Structure 1
Amino acid sequence: MALRDFFISLSENQTLSNAAGQYGLKLGAQSVVAGTTIEEVIESIRKLNEQGISCTVDNLGEYVTDESEATQAKEEILAMIEAIQVEELDAHISLKPSQLGLDIDIDFCYDNLYEIVERAHEYGIFVNFDMEDYKRLQPSFDILEELAKSFDNVGTVIQAYFHRAKDDIENFKDYRLRVVKGAYKESEEVAYQDKLDIDINFIELIEYHLAHGHFTSIATHDHNIIKHVKYYVEQYDIPKEKFEFQMLYGFRKDLQLELAREGYQVCVYVPYGKDWYGYFMRRLAERPQNISLVTKQVFNKKTNTLLAVAAGAYLLGRLTKKK
């Protein structure tokens, strides 16, 4: 838990995030982030599509407090939607409400999201609302439900570590949902702290939505959970068209291809953009194996990986101070 908390604290450091954006994809992030431009990410999506894998695309960014920055993020997402349509890609959009003005003004955020969802609806492109930390959870759900009155191409994420997750998944059972464990630091008042408790709730949520829900994106790299899902859908005769396995760009590529060859729907979460630092640090916080994966490409194998990444974060801070 100490290691997880360390990387989550780094993910929330705005100074380091700003420095990371200025100095490009360093510290191994290029292995888990598909690029900084639409042109770069299109090429990554096309390669995955050729392997029978669909994509959900995230223009990275969150916690925006400036209206012009939120508007710029909206325009970038609209451009990505146009690119998906023009290039005939098998892809849809993932976005964070806080990138589009949730922390600025609820009506401003709603207008930005309405424009995005409306454009995507014209092209038959699905838009997924990524859920963030607890204090932004209900406001995001409220906007989603309001937009769902006008559009049928929206869905969201249920985070298994929240105590309220079972109520939420029942409330949104008619939506396309991605079920995840959760990647933010939350208090014990609102979230499970023990890994076993989270895993148990995760499986129960997946089973509930597979049995009662619309469409389920099962976000995991855990082969044991994947094996359990395979058994469950076979046992209850749930068609493969009702669910997909969803994994992160750059992780478990062999497993992605194996599942696709077996006839399962596989979707890769493809992040891109300059504001990659917070996302990258949360991926390091989730599993110790992720640290090894992303650091071995840029550090000597004899280097302690924790110290290496921490040193990288420190370096970004020093570079910022020099400027």
Structure 2
Amino acid sequence: MLKDIFMGLSQNQLLNSAAKKYGLKMGAQSVVAGTNIPEVIKSIKELNAQGISCTVDNLGEFVFKEEEATAAKEQILQVIEAIHENQVDAHISLKPTQVGLDIDYTFCLNNVREIVDKASQYQMFINIDMEDFKHLELTFNLLDDLSLEYDNVGTVIQAYFHNALEYVERYKNYRIRLVKGAYKESDEIAYQDKKDIDANYIKLIEWHLLNGKFTSIATHDHRIINHVKEFVKRNDISKDKYEFQMLYGFRKELQLKLASEGYNFCTYVPFGNDWYGYFMRRLAERPQNLNLVAKQVFNKKTNTIIGVAAGAFLLGRLTTTKDKKKKRK
């Protein structure tokens, strides 16, 4: 139920617009590394100083107009230039829908190609983030098309999909980020139980560590991290073959600990005013994240806004359920 609430909130365009108005005053500064490029570069420098590399996400949701997608592309190009000019250790993560996937495939491909081309000039990696299932094959198509011209591009594979291992095997020669999955999907295509997802996640990690090019293990779960530590030691897997990843603002002490132990560590660094959908999905993905950020993020204003929004969402669900029952009668 809690996951459904936050997933419903993440897709509410009205609340997304309201969140932009409040900006990071709502407390999201703990999990979003600024609203502009100078601020995110400052955050990257601070992480680099602690032995942590970064992947930067220029946040954006609900892009259905070409001019908005083009503006997002231009912003990402500016971030690439800023990373190069400041000589910081960072690369780019981007969502295809932000640069036009819901508008037109060719339009989106051209936008992503321009980004990948610019990054390739600076030997910079571009990670194509994976979104919900309806965009999955289109995103793989982007990767396939771009790989004909460039070798600095990879993507994400979500462990909650039943056939995730097929995707891992298909893209074993790519740098791949493995995640559990953050979108609400049907039980026909995705595991729903946490134990099943965790088991599949570990299976994917082990397979790709043994057979893949480079594995980014994106999790806050210390049990899985400890399992990976033992697995790589037991199988004599070089640290150059993998990295751990976590989100900016989450489990900071563990991030620093892993980096200090000599593991490659990368922090996923989101920035921008369009933070709302991203933040709600993080809470939906792992309700424990509420505990991780509660003291840092939630103030009275945040609690009120999210509480009212959650109440409205639940009321909508209850009303819909009642209407369905009436129709059945």
Q: Scaled by the length of structure 2, what TM-score is found?
A: 0.91
> Contact 1:56–1:93 (CA<8 Å) still a contact in 2?
yes
Residues 67 and 313 from structure 1, CA distance in 2 versus in 1: closer, same or farther, beyond 3 angstroms? Answer: farther
Does 1:55 pair with 2:54?
yes
What is the root-mean-square deviation in Å for CA atoms of aligned residues? 1.7
Q: Secondary structure at the match of 1:62?
A: coil
Does 1:39 pair with 2:27?
no
Report how far residue 283 of structure 1 moved.
1.1
User: Which residue of structure 2 lines up, in the alignment, with residue 310 of structure 1?
Assistant: 307
Structure-to-structure mapping, 1:193-208, within 5 angstroms? 193-208=192-207
Report how far residue 308 of structure 1 moved.
6.7
Question: How far apart, CA to CA, are the structure 2 residues paired with 1:146 and 1:39?
Answer: 33
User: Which residue of structure 2 lines up, in the alignment, with residue 289 of structure 1?
Assistant: 288
Q: Deviations over 1:41-93 (max 9, x none)?
A: 00000000000000000000133100000000000000000000000010000
Question: How far apart, CA to CA, are the structure 2 residues paired with 1:31 and 1:313?
Answer: 21
Report how far residue 287 of structure 1 moved.
2.3
User: Which residue of structure 2 lines up, in the alignment, with residue 128 of structure 1?
Assistant: 127
> Contact 1:64–1:99 (CA<8 Å) still a contact in 2?
yes
> Contact 1:20–1:26 (CA<8 Å) still a contact in 2?
no
Q: Secondary structure at the match of 1:158?
A: strand
User: Which residue of structure 1 lines up, in the alignment, with residue 27 of structure 2?
Assistant: 28
Question: How far apart, CA to CA, are the structure 1 residues paired with 2:194 and 2:167?
Answer: 20
User: Which residue of structure 1 lines up, in the alignment, with residue 320 of structure 2?
Assistant: none
Report how far residue 314 of structure 1 moved.
7.7
> Contact 2:120–2:150 (CA<8 Å) still a contact in 1?
yes
Structure-to-structure mapping, 1:97-176, within 5 angstroms? 97-176=96-175
> Contact 1:259–1:266 (CA<8 Å) still a contact in 2?
yes
> Contact 1:11–1:277 (CA<8 Å) still a contact in 2?
yes
Report how far residue 20 of structure 1 moved.
1.0
Question: How far apart, CA to CA, are the structure 1 residues paired with 2:297 and 2:118?
Answer: 40
Identity of aligned residues (%): 64
Which letter maps to 2:26? L
User: Which residue of structure 1 lines up, in the alignment, with residue 325 of structure 2?
Assistant: none
Residues 260 and 298 from structure 1, CA distance in 2 versus in 1: closer, same or farther, beyond 3 angstroms? Answer: closer
Q: Secondary structure at the match of 2:127?
A: strand
Question: How far apart, CA to CA, are the structure 2 residues paired with 1:299 and 1:76?
Answer: 29
Question: How far apart, CA to CA, are the structure 2 residues paired with 1:198 and 1:241?
Answer: 26
Q: Which runs of 5+ in 1 are unaligned?
A: 316-323
User: Which residue of structure 1 lines up, in the alignment, with residue 224 of structure 2?
Assistant: 225
Q: Deviations over 1:267-321 (max 9, x none)?
A: 0000001111000101111223322343434656xx8x97773237789xxxxxx
User: Which residue of structure 2 lines up, in the alignment, with residue 78 of structure 1?
Assistant: 77
Question: How far apart, CA to CA, are the structure 2 residues paired with 1:163 and 1:37?
Answer: 38
> Contact 1:131–1:156 (CA<8 Å) still a contact in 2?
yes
Question: How far apart, CA to CA, are the structure 1 residues paired with 2:274 and 2:241?
Answer: 33
Q: Deviations over 1:130-186 (max 9, x none)?
A: 000000000010011110010000000000001121100000000000000000000
Which letter maps to 2:10? S
Question: How far apart, CA to CA, are the structure 2 residues paired with 1:164 and 1:298?
Answer: 36
Q: Secondary structure at the match of 1:190?
A: coil
> Contact 1:35–1:272 (CA<8 Å) still a contact in 2?
yes
Does 1:181 pair with 2:171?
no
User: Which residue of structure 2 lines up, in the alignment, with residue 261 of structure 1?
Assistant: 260
Question: How far apart, CA to CA, are the structure 2 residues paired with 1:21 and 1:75?
Answer: 20
Q: Secondary structure at the match of 1:46?
A: helix
Between 64-73 and 26-35, report the one with greater CA deviation.
Answer: 26-35
> Contact 2:245–2:265 (CA<8 Å) still a contact in 1?
yes
> Contact 1:27–1:309 (CA<8 Å) still a contact in 2?
no
Question: How far apart, CA to CA, are the structure 2 residues paired with 1:287 and 1:277?
Answer: 16
User: Which residue of structure 1 lines up, in the alignment, with residue 318 of structure 2?
Assistant: none
Does 1:15 pair with 2:17?
no
Question: How far apart, CA to CA, are the structure 2 residues paired with 1:211 and 1:309?
Answer: 43
Aligned length: 311
User: Which residue of structure 1 lines up, in the alignment, with residue 67 of structure 2?
Assistant: 68
Which letter maps to 1:311? V
Q: Which runs of 5+ in 2 are unaligned?
A: 313-329
Report how far residue 99 of structure 1 moved.
0.4
Question: How far apart, CA to CA, are the structure 2 residues paired with 1:171 and 1:297?
Answer: 40
Q: Secondary structure at the match of 1:232?
A: helix
Q: Secondary structure at the match of 1:25?
A: helix
> Contact 1:29–1:294 (CA<8 Å) still a contact in 2?
no
Report how far residue 28 of structure 1 moved.
2.4
Q: Secondary structure at the match of 2:210?
A: helix
Q: Secondary structure at the match of 1:246?
A: strand
Question: How far apart, CA to CA, are the structure 2 residues paired with 1:221 and 1:49?
Answer: 20
